[in-house]
Structure 1
């Protein structure tokens, strides 16, 4: 503990003792804030932000979001990684659009042939190994199509 921290600790103890002797109670650990419930005038120091009357409105973060309960799903989860690895093995780690243009380029990513936004699926037949350069060009073209309607 540094000298400054010790001095600060001494001040805290002094003010706490001063508060106890003058008011008979200790200082609150944090200032009360307005309740998060609409049109509620009560104050709270609870970490979730609701007063005792509206405490039932508090929901844990994991139960509020349905996706939070599906651990490992989505494109960052284990099922997607397995599917991605299988597609890269199937395509022998080579970029499929480059192969169609008689170029041999190592693939770094897996892409939907028909984008999911345009009705594509996550089926293996709709996935291809692709290099970053081809993926960037394809993604840009898809974005332009989406903007045009």
Structure 2
């Protein structure tokens, strides 16, 4: 099976040719960066553990937005949110999580960001 045909080096203004996968000629091979996926994600958001927690909290809260429910309004929840956010010391324990609708989540996130910047509400 023949090798791949030579192609231009990726280095700017280089007239060299290469067949390397990284695309640099032998002169510029030191510019090739090997990209590796991280061994683990720092945050569990989006991964299987978080999806399991999210489903458990949505079932516990019967799929209803808890902030709306405290106001006597029945609104379907779309997300799970931390009551005390992680930046303020909150954790992923079930007692610190609640089902929340998109408008409530957006308002809560904006308020937390405002407080984080030190702006009066």
**TM-score by shorter chain over 0.5:** yes
Quote the offset at 1:32 in angstroms: 2.6
Q: Distance in 2 between matches of 1:140 and 1:77?
A: 25
1:5-38: CA deviation from partner (whole Å, max 9, x where unpaired): xxxxxxxxxxxxxxxxxxxxxxx63123439xxx
- Counterpart in the other structure of 1:30: 7
User: Superposition RMSD on alpha carbons, in Å?
Assistant: 2.8
Q: Higher helix share goes to which structure?
A: 1
Q: Distance in 1 between matches of 2:98 and 2:86?
A: 14
TM-score (norm 2): 0.73
TM-score (norm 1): 0.61
Long gaps (5+) in structure 2: none
Long gaps (5+) in structure 1: 1-27, 36-40
Correspondence 1:120 to 2:120? no
Count of paired positions:
112
Quote the offset at 1:136 in angstroms: 0.9
